[in-house]
Amino acid sequence: MSETQNWVAMGYIKGAFGVKGWLKIQPSTEYTDSLLDYPEWRLVKGKDVQIAEIEAGKAVGGELQVKFSHINDRDAAALMRGYTIEVPRESFAETEEDEFYWTDLVGMQVVNRDGVALGEVVKLMETGAHDVLVVRGEYGEKLIPFVSHFIDDVNQETRTITADWGLDY
């Protein structure tokens, strides 16, 4: 794995599970077991960075239980608590037209149809019915439903989202 890759945080290690080196993982993916699609993870905690190879894993409820090939007991597993799990953005599956990964939308600038800058996408929220952009800028925080009724265009080259959204909304 090259150092120039664009790494994306996809969850964190909650702690040890059992006595054979298994770990409890809190994924930040749409599907609990999506992280198992990546055979290697980069683990980051402060300045400590390591690559971990997945030996086995399973989804249990909203949690992931994983065994790394280099960790074989509870003590070693306990030391992994608090590490952020990252995977290379380049290994994500291609999206369909008008589909986007949340990580690609965060940081984009949002402008309305009048060309007024509403701010930057700081995160997304899942509401059940649809996803919502959380946009912060000089006009405060705006919650904009990420649906075609309000979103006119997502330009990945210019990192700009055009929305049908007034300043007084």
pLDDT per residue as tens digits for the range 129-140: 899 999 999 999
What does pLDDT average to over the chain? 92
Angle at 156 between CA 151 and CA 158, to 5 degrees: 100
Q: Is this structure's pTM higher than 0.75?
A: no
24, with CB counted inside 10 A (0-12, 13-18, 19+), is: middle
* Tens-digit pLDDT profile for residues 69-121: 999 999 999 999 999 999 998 888 888 888 898 889 999 999 999 999 999 99
CATH fit for domain 7-90, picks 1.10.10.10, 3.40.50.620, 3.60.15.10, 2.40.30.60: 2.40.30.60
Assign domain 102-163 to its CATH architecture.
Roll (2.30)
For the chain, domain boundaries: 7-90, 102-163
pLDDT for the residue 4: 57
CA distance 44 to 35: 16
